[in-house]
């Protein structure tokens, strides 16, 4: 494998492999350069030379020590990454050297219903993630990257895109002509907008930023609600839909916004409960609307490898490109975290693995 490495990394039978490690005590993200043997795949495993990674809100929670998903000690952060196959182990027939791949958030969730045991191997949380130049994965924990996407774009898919896809398509059975309410313009929200538009749905987007609402309209949103002017955004949504309500809510706020999301629902509507941007406490709103509307709330946490592959086929068919707000270099990971924490982004924040 040494012959396939960049000259900068070749040291005889040793390589200088750069990676970040996240220390669980306090808010410390520290880069570590270490010399190590070339990563070798075992049976059924694949070594991937990572080319790009993207950040999710979960990564901020990990940095702050408040995610509840860490395994203790140090961990390589970030769950979302893409790269090219550098080496395959015995028995691997799905991939070969040079293939472009993306890693699955839950390596053990290949298909079928979710099981709690999958949390034991969540990338960038309970096990090492992708903010490293080389990583080893089971072949079953990788998917082919969509051919029309760059490494930076493919790195946006494993968590944010798949979560939106699971919510609206796999669980939500989204249909053309339905109305979707998307809260905010972060990674999951923008992917939900793009997926819904491609399905022929009407999309309402909320944001405090008029500029972000304009960008949402450019991506095909039907209309936007400026929550700075309309803190009663549920009433605005109700009026926009002629007092019918929406069929789907992509709910990323959590307890602080759940009540208004319930107020926005049509009869037999669905709320995909995805995020906890307003905290992890109990909602302070009555759940009566859930009963009155014969509605449902689905908890959504990423998705399986089979879902990932179906989503990639759809993205390829519809030529969907992720909305990337900003790309940082490998040595700028701390700046990338800070940019995500500022809340100024639209869509995804990406780290490119450069050669410098």
User: What is residue 12's three-state secondary structure?
Assistant: coil
Cα–Cα distance measured from residue 82 to residue 54, given in angstroms and rounded to the nearest whole number: 9
DSSP string covering 255-300: TTTHHHHHHTEEEEEEEEE---TT-SS---S-SHHHHHTT-EEEE-
At residue 255, the pLDDT reads 82
C-alpha 9/C-alpha 72 separation (Å) is 30
pLDDT in tens, 161-208: 999 999 999 999 999 999 999 999 999 999 999 999 999 999 999 999
Half-sphere exposure of 92 (CA within 13 A, CB side): 24
Q: Which of 55, 6, 146 is nearest to 351 (CA)?
A: 55
In whole angstroms, give the CA distance from residue 105 to residue 95: 19
Q: Using an 8 Å Cβ cutoff, are 121 and 104 in contact?
A: no
Identify the CA nearest to 17 among candidates 49, 53, 54, 55: 49
pLDDT on residue 21: 86
- Positions in the chain short of pLDDT 50: 1-3, 7-9, 11-12, 71, 356
DSSP state of 66: -
**Collapsed DSSP state (helix, strand, coil) of residue 1:** coil
pLDDT at 11: 46
- What are residue 117's phi and psi, to 5 degrees? -65, -20
pLDDT attached to residue 31: 67
Burial class (CB in 10 A: 0-12, 13-18, 19+), 93: exposed
Q: What pLDDT, on the 0 to 100 scale, is given for residue 68?
A: 52
Integer Cα distance of 302 and 317 in angstroms = 22
Q: Count of CB atoms within 10 A of residue 23's CB? A: 14
- Separation between Cα atoms, residue 245 and residue 267, nearest integer Å: 8
């Amino acid at each position: 494998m040494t012959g396939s490495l960049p000259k900068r990394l070749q040291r005889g039978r040793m390589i200088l492999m750069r990676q970040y490690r996240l220390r669980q005590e306090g808010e410390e993200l520290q880069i570590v350069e270490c010399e190590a043997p070339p990563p070798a795949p075992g049976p059924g495993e694949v070594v991937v030379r990572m080319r790009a990674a993207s950040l999710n809100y979960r990564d901020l929670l990990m940095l702050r020590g408040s995610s509840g998903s860490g395994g203790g000690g140090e961990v390589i952060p970030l769950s979302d990454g893409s790269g090219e196959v550098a080496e395959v182990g015995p028995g691997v027939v799905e991939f070969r050297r040079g293939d472009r791949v993306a890693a699955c958030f839950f390596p053990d969730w290949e298909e079928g219903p979710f099981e709690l045991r999958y949390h034991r191997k969540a990338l960038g949380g309970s096990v090492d993630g992708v903010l490293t130049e080389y990583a080893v994965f089971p072949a079953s924990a990788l998917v082919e990257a969509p051919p029309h996407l760059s490494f930076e774009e493919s790195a946006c898919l494993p968590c944010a895109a798949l979560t939106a896809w699971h919510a609206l398509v796999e669980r939500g059975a989204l249909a053309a002509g339905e109305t979707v309410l998307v809260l905010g313009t972060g990674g999951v929200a923008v992917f939900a907008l793009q997926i819904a538009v491609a399905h022929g749905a009407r999309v309402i987007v909320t944001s405090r930023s008029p500029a972000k609402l304009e960008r949402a309209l450019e991506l095909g949103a039907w209309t936007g609600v400026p929550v700075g002017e309309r803190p009663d955004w549920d009433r605005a949504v109700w009026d926009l839909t002629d007092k019918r309500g929406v069929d789907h809510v992509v709910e990323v706020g959590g307890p602080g916004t759940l009540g208004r999301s319930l107020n926005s629902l049509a009869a037999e509507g669905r709320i995909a409960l995805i995020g906890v941007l307003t905290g992890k406490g109990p909602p302070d709103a009555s759940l009566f609307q859930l009963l009155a509307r014969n509605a449902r709330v689905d908890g959504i946490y990423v998705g399986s490898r089979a879902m990932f592959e179906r989503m990639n086929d759809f993205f390829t068919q519809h030529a969907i490109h992720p909305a990337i707000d900003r790309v940082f270099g490998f040595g700028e990971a701390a700046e990338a975290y800070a940019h995500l924490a500022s809340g100024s982004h639209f869509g995804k924040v990406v780290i490119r693995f450069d050669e410098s």
